[in-house]
Every structure is written in structure tokens, then in C-alpha cells.
Structure 1
Amino acid sequence: MAGRKRVLVVGGTGYLGQHLLQGLAGALLYDLAFTHNRPIPPPDLVAAVSPVIPFRVDLRTGDGFDAISSSFGQPDVVVNCAALSVPRACEMDPAAAVSINVPSSLVNWLSSFNNSNSLLVHLSTDQVYEGVKSFYKEEDEAVPVNMYGKTKLAAEQHIIAHCSNYAILRSSIIYGPQTISPVEKSLPIQWIDSVLNKQGHEVEFFHDEFRCPVYVKDMVDVIMAATKKWISGSHLYLPLISDGKQMQLLLNVGGANRVSRLQMAESVARIKGYNPSLIKPVSASSVDRGVRSPSDISMDISRLIQVLGVSPCLFEDGVRSTLEADNA
């Protein structure tokens, strides 16, 4: 492995993790490894992105990181995709949310190396914002309204305090095709498609809750762009993200459009030819989801485009690509 750069994907069996491993494997530039928390890694994933080394790691305790040091070595880039990302689950078990979402064991492990040559790319969330206005900028105050957002903000603060080099990516809802090894969680576009496909069945969607959903392949492009800038050293010439030899970056990563849940459903209906009368607009305040949800956490992504040169696709184009890929 001498001479080749090493990339470790933490949470590689999750939705973004699998898509990212595919993108990295397709680039043919890096030695790859990923962590998983299940007894064995998914054989279909390992076969699809091989050569890759899977490691079983418990992020809460740090058990398993020493094995990575021994057989893979110090990664040049670590991408942390692991999270307890269902807001209601975080609300019901705050201790578990903190232990998984604040990557203390990962940061401690990276600190164990004698140099600071690793870049930590960390997936954060738009839910760090309060949700009381449109198009949040990175410098706006973060005031999360639920436990998920609070733990993700705590993670950002922990990384900024303890890591020399980081790229924190505040992601919106990530959507796209199903993964190589199908994930258990409900995928947003596929769920909308499935409920609208039940002819004659009216479905309620919030007309007053806004996000900037990001297509998964754009998310992968963003992470790969940050990885390439770090490995090539080109970040040294970008004053916005570097200080001497360091990369310290905080970016909003959303799609090109601010859309409501209702508009998301309308896009699926247009593409699939469903009867629009099946879609019933309701207010988010009319439903008790067991957790507070911010109303408008749409994000300004101009810094993302400026710094990394990635322009996310239009929402409807991403939805079309998602449905075409899953039906192929």
C-alpha cells in the first residue's frame, strides 16, 4: 500500500457510506477501508467495492480502532458517516444519541497518531439550525430544537476543539437510489412513491416545513472534492478553508432547491404520473411526531459552490434520476 493514500469510511454500511464507497472505489485512487457495527460486513457490498478492508468497530467504546492502526495504518482521510439520525429515536434515548453522534472515540483514536496528517470529514446536519428563517448561512447562530440537532452540534464543537484538520458538512435530507446492500430505513423518495402508488389513497404532506434535500451522488462529489483538495495540497491556496497547512472547513451541503414536503411529493407525482389530488396539504403543527421539528432549515450553499466547486442538481432532476435508477 506504499504511496497510495488511505481513506477510511466510518459507518460504511449505512446509506451514504455505501454510496461513498462506490464512488471512492470507482475513482481507483485510494486504498479503502470501512467500519461496520454488525457481526459481519455485507458480502455484496464488499464484493462490489473490492479491494476494501472492513473493520468491526464499536464507536461508543472505540473497540476495533486498534485493529485499523495495525493492519491499515493511519488514514489520510476519515469520513464519518455514522450517526443515530432518526430524531425521534434520539429524543427517546438521549444517552445513545450522544454516545454515537459525538465521535469522541474516533477523535481520540486520530489523536493517538504522532502527527496531524489526517483529515476528518464529518457529516453534520441542517437540524443544528433553529428553523425560523430561510437560507441559513454557516455563520448564523446554531440553535437546535431537538436532541438530534443538539448532539450533532455537540459533535461539531468537539471536532473543532480537538482536531487540527476537519471538514464539517451540514447536510440536508439525503435522497437517491437504494444501496448495494439495501438499508432498513425508509428512503424519502421511495417512500413517497410507494404511498402515492396506492391509487385512491389520499396522503397528507406538510406544506410549511422546508428543506434543501441533496441528491446522494452530489453528496459523494462534495466529500470526494474535499478529499482531493486535502490529498493534493490544493487547499493551501484557498484562504477560506486553510490556515497554514491546516484545513478547517464548515459548509452547508444542501440541494439547489428549497422545497416543502408537499413540493417533494408533487415532484414525485409529476414524474410518475400520479393523480395530484392524492396529495393533501396539511400544516406540520397538526401532527404530533413525538419530537420538535424545525420549520424552515433551508440553507445557503454559495460557500460550498465557491470552495469545492460542486453545484448540486435541481431537486426534480435528482428525483427523476433516483426513480430511474431504482426501476432499472
Structure 2
Amino acid sequence: MVVGAIKTLIIGSSGMLGSDLCKVFPDAVKFTHKDLDITSREHVLKAIREISPDVVINAAAYTDVDGCEDNQELAYEVNGNGPGNIAEACSIAGAKLVHFSTDYIFDGSKKEYAESDTPNPINVYGRSKLLGERRIIECMGDYRIIRISWLFGTHGKNFVETMLRLSREMDTVKVVNDQFGKPTYTIDLAARVKEIIELEPGIYHITNDGVCSWYEFASSIIDNVLPCTSEEFSRKAKRPKYSVLANTKTEPMRHWKEALEAYLKERNI
């Protein structure tokens, strides 16, 4: 099947990732949160039945990691039951589902995680996203769950923009140097989705190549940054020390430093 000929629905089209997915799939039907509340099973079933898409790409999520600790019910509804509603509707419509999960489903006790490793989330955000994965798998077989990490893109709040802002506002910026992962540019991720749609159903780890700490990432963005420990920089939600996703199923994407350079160029920085 030719990807360009299929009918695609993008849910969460106004978000950071969703905006870049819209560029890759310009002819897709696009839903923002105002168009579709994924926590309403009735509305999701009705919308997908009426559109009758071949592929549904779900980029809708509640991604405020610390906020999830305060709003647990919302986190489980949006990140857990919402994807389940979409999967049920896709199963009925005979549509493929592409859904985005997270590195935070792992506890950080290993240096890196393959797609087959057992999840063990240590915060509400991770647990809610893992619930979403399980709801999908319970409902259908024709899914592609893409686990992603440390996203940055031109259409939303992200670590790069936060560092640039803090660098202007403060003499020095402290960033943790004991949490490790893989920064990922939403443009590169969105482009890879076309390929994933045509691959076998299952779970995929898709990130830019290269591993770094948050401090190393920050050091590539701003000059006035100092390392600190997670204990020094207390957050409401516990973060995994290592959330490095090993991609064992597809060709690696470009290095995160190259992707960051492209992002900064896009932003005229």
C-alpha cells in the first residue's frame, strides 16, 4: 500500500509533535483537543467511525511529568484510557494505529532499554503511559507503539527553549548531570513515522542517535550552565537515572547534536 494514498487521521495535531506530523502528512484529517476529547469513548468511536481512516496517528497526551503527580486522575484518563478508546475505535474501523509512548515507562536501573525489556515506571506519568500501551495491546493487533524521549521541536515548550530563556534571565543555569537519555527532534521523528506505518505491528524505540546527560544537552545550547545532582534539583516526580532507548528494529536517525544544530538554525539562533 502506498502511504500517500491512504486516509490518515492525526489526533493531537496542534501539539509540538503533532504540528510536525501535519507537515509529513499534509492531506491527513487533523484533530486538536478542541475537536476531539480522547477521554470520551463515545466521541472517539463516533469520530473514527465517521472518518473511516486507514491509519490513525495519536500524538495527544498529557506530558507535564510533575503535573501528572498532582493530577493523577487526568493523567490516567488522557494517557491511559484515551489511547484505549482510540484503539477500540481503530479495531472496529479496521485502521492501523500509531501511538507515542515514553522512555519514562522504565525505572532507570539499566544503562539502556530495548523494546522487549520489562517496563517498571517510577512516576505517575510513566505509569499512565504504560497503561495506554496495555490498553492498546488489549484492544487490537495492528498497532505501532513508538517509545520516544526528550523531545524538542519548534512548535511547543521544550528543554532547548527553556535553556535559552533561563540563560538570558540568569547568570548561571544549573542542570542535572546524573540523568541520561537521547534528545529527539520532532521533525526527524515525524518523518520516521511514514516508515513505521509500513513495518510489522509492535513496539519501536525511535530517538535521535547519541546518549547524553541533561547537563551535556544544555552545554550544547548555552554557555552559562553548571552541573548539579538530582538531589540538588528536587522535582515532584522522580526521574529515571537512565532512560536510554535502544532502537533494535530500524536504522538509526542522525545524531542529536546534528539535529539540535538544525533546530537552532530553524529558529535563527
Instruction: Report the TM-score when normalising by structure 1.
Output: 0.76
1:217-265 CA-to-partner distances (Å, cap 9, x unmatched) read 22112211123x1xxxxx4xxxxx3xxxxxx211111221111011011
Partner letter of residue 261 of structure 1? W
- Counterpart position of 2:88: 108
Larger radius of gyration: 1
Kindly indicate whether residue 256 of structure 2 is the aligned counterpart of residue 298 of structure 1.
no
RMSD of aligned C-alpha atoms? 1.8
SS of equivalent to 1:284: coil
Kindly indicate whether residue 63 of structure 2 is the aligned counterpart of residue 62 of structure 1.
no
- Counterpart position of 1:34: 30
SS of equivalent to 1:18: helix
- Counterpart position of 2:10: 9
Identity %: 24
Q: Distance in 1 between matches of 2:143 and 2:90?
A: 12
Query: Which of 243, 258, 261 lines up with 1:320 in the alignment?
Result: 261
Kindly indicate whether residue 124 of structure 2 is the aligned counterpart of residue 154 of structure 1.
no
Alignment of 1:135-214 (within 5 A): 135-176=112-153, 178-179=154-155, 183=156, 186-198=157-169, 201-214=171-184
- Counterpart position of 1:251: 204
Q: Distance in 2 between matches of 1:62 and 1:161?
A: 16
Q: Distance in 1 between matches of 2:244 and 2:119?
A: 13
Partner letter of residue 11 of structure 1? G
Instruction: Report the TM-score when normalising by structure 2.
Output: 0.92
**Does the 8 Å CA contact 1:80/1:121 hold for their aligned counterparts?**
yes
Q: Distance in 2 between matches of 1:67 and 1:254?
A: 31
Question: Cα distance, 1:68 vs. partner?
Answer: 4.7
Q: Distance in 2 between matches of 1:321 and 1:37?
A: 29
Question: Cα distance, 1:288 vs. partner?
Answer: 1.9
Question: Cα distance, 1:320 vs. partner?
Answer: 1.1
Q: Distance in 1 between matches of 2:7 and 2:71?
A: 35
Kindly indicate whether residue 233 of structure 2 is the aligned counterpart of residue 287 of structure 1.
yes
What is the aligned residue count?
Answer: 263
Q: Distance in 1 between matches of 2:208 and 2:139?
A: 30
Question: Cα distance, 1:93 vs. partner?
Answer: 1.3
Q: Which runs of 5+ in 1 are unaligned?
A: 26-30, 39-55, 230-234, 236-240, 242-247, 306-310
SS of equivalent to 1:150: helix
- Judge which range, 188-197 or 210-219, deviates more: 188-197
Q: Distance in 2 between matches of 1:298 and 1:81?
A: 21
Partner letter of residue 260 of structure 1? S
1:164-188 CA-to-partner distances (Å, cap 9, x unmatched) read 2011111011113x22xxx4xx221
- Judge which range, 130-139 or 203-212, deviates more: 130-139
Kindly indicate whether residue 186 of structure 2 is the aligned counterpart of residue 216 of structure 1.
yes
**Does the 8 Å CA contact 1:215/1:312 hold for their aligned counterparts?**
no
